[in-house]
Copies of this chain bind each other. A is one copy, B any other.
């Protein structure tokens, strides 16, 4: 980084802008390399992981698996059939957590699920049973399933079942209830339970009949279209929901079900722009499952939150969780709610960002930046920044406004630590208090701690033979 006067001299600078500025003032040609010091305390582990001979190849293999996974909606079934859930066995979003550390919205959703399953007659009774430790909790991710927000699944809830016939995996997700006062945001009032019963008795069976009649619906293909139609697949799924409806309609109409039920199902699906989220999520889960388990790979395969902890998993480290405190999103609030009403970040829906859409595809959904208080140039800048964190792109999901460049895909733990930039997640915000429901929507990032502990574990896992 020395300079001198003389024709033909070009200096490469890295890091602090003042070097380049000073050289230019002296008439010296400069090439700037974007560089910032790595996150303090991670340098040694980072060096060890970056020198791992297996890394580049393992990351390329993980990316190839992720971007080649299929995701076909093949069935809709109750959770007790699909996932063998027993009575009193509940799934939840994010990494493992016990009742005593659970936040309001997760508690609220469990209270609602206990009542819905008929295990208690009132919310108070349900809460007492939960306090007494009568039930079993397990992350949905541990069974290959995902759930938005609280992500609570009980045995009589119906699940979408998706299949990846390239890698032979299956994944599941519950059916979307709509917005506002709904179980996944921690509400459990009688109307919430009533809606869940209708979903169990009418919606689920109708979707099963229609789905089976279609012979399978290609969810990856619908996502490819929705990112060309102003949806980013996480907080905006308007086009996706309509395209799903289009696929299901002929079979639904010819199903032989009562006309009133068919009309109710169609209205329920088409009036809820988020309905398709619960199909994007398990599709993304199949992609990230395919990318999992490549020794030496530093690609993130899960980002999930239980409302208290944010947890990530990394391809080279299998199912191990690396956690840190979940953050409160920065965004816009419904009605009179404000930051004090919001619970920290919750839900498995960050699986969409893990697979390269949602916040990573902000550029394609400028309409959504208004929802979270940003501008169109913010949206473009966000997607461009995410390319710097990722090992590659997904050519199947092309963003028109970036001249059909593929979505930024495969978050690299080392890139996060080297740049100090965090993945951006679009999210809904649940009320802090059990029973409240949704209070807003906004932008959030994982805590850096997740990546700091992941790099230490990755470094410890580098075999001597693979070190350069």
Q: Are A253 and B263 in contact (CB under 8 A)?
A: yes
Residue A243 interfacial (CB < 8 Å): yes
Q: Are B246 and A253 in contact (CB under 8 A)?
A: no
With A228-B230, A401-B401, A403-B376 given, is the CB distance from A242 to B250 under 8 Å? no
Most buried by B among A229, A231, A263: A229
A402 to B246, CA, bound (A): 30
| Complex: chain B residue closest to A403, CB-CB | B376
| Complex: chain B residue closest to A402, CB-CB | B376
| Complex: chain B residue closest to A263, CB-CB | B253
Q: Mark A244-272, 1 if CB is under 8 A from B, else 0.
A: 01100110011000011011001100100
Q: Are A250 and B230 in contact (CB under 8 A)?
A: no
Contacts of A228 in B (CB 8 A): 230, 367
A270 to B250, CA, bound (A): 10
A residues 326-381 with Cβ under 8 Å of B? Answer: 366-367, 370, 375-377
Residue A239 interfacial (CB < 8 Å): yes
Contacts of A250 in B (CB 8 A): 263, 266-267
Q: Are A259 and B253 in contact (CB under 8 A)?
A: yes
Most buried by B among A267, A366, A402: A366
Contacts of A231 in B (CB 8 A): 229
| Complex: chain B residue closest to A376, CB-CB | B403
A413 to B13, CA, bound (A): 54
Q: Are B270 and A246 in contact (CB under 8 A)?
A: yes
Residue A238 interfacial (CB < 8 Å): yes
| Complex: chain B residue closest to A256, CB-CB | B259
A238 to B254, CA, bound (A): 24
Secondary structure at the A interface, as helix, strand, loop or mixed, is helix
Residue A420 interfacial (CB < 8 Å): no
Residue A4 interfacial (CB < 8 Å): no
Q: How far is the CB of A238 from chain B (nearest CB, A)?
A: 7
Q: How far is the CB of A383 from chain B (nearest CB, A)?
A: 13
Q: Are B246 and A400 in contact (CB under 8 A)?
A: no
A262 to B249, CA, bound (A): 10
Q: Are A400 and B366 in contact (CB under 8 A)?
A: yes
Q: Are A400 and B229 in contact (CB under 8 A)?
A: no
| Complex: chain B residue closest to A253, CB-CB | B263
Contacts of A370 in B (CB 8 A): 404
A250 to B266, CA, bound (A): 7
Most buried by B among A225, A245, A253: A253
Q: How far is the CB of A407 from chain B (nearest CB, A)?
A: 15
A467 to B402, CA, bound (A): 50
Contacts of A401 in B (CB 8 A): 366, 376, 401
Q: How far is the CB of A213 from chain B (nearest CB, A)?
A: 11
| Complex: chain B residue closest to A231, CB-CB | B229
Contacts of A229 in B (CB 8 A): 229-231, 238-239
Contacts of A270 in B (CB 8 A): 246, 249
A249 to B245, CA, bound (A): 11
A339 to B436, CA, bound (A): 64
With A254-B259, A376-B401 given, is the CB distance from A249 to B230 under 8 Å? no
Q: How far is the CB of A211 from chain B (nearest CB, A)?
A: 16
Q: How far is the CB of A268 from chain B (nearest CB, A)?
A: 11
With A229-B230, A259-B254 given, is the CB distance from A367 to B400 under 8 Å? yes
Q: Are B263 and A254 in contact (CB under 8 A)?
A: yes
Most buried by B among A225, A242, A245, A367: A242
A266 to B367, CA, bound (A): 29
A residues 387-439 with Cβ under 8 Å of B? Answer: 400-404
A245 to B250, CA, bound (A): 13
Q: How far is the CB of A200 from chain B (nearest CB, A)?
A: 22
4 tightest CB-CB pairs across the interface, nearest first? A366-B400, A242-B242, A229-B230, A253-B263
| A–B pairs, 9, beta carbons within 8 Å | A225-B238, A229-B229, A239-B239, A250-B266, A254-B260, A366-B404, A370-B404, A376-B401, A376-B402
Please give the residue numbers on chain A whose beta carbons come within 8 Å of chain B beta carbons, in ascending order.
225, 228-231, 238-239, 242-243, 245-246, 249-250, 253-254, 259-260, 262-263, 266-267, 270, 366-367, 370, 375-377, 400-404
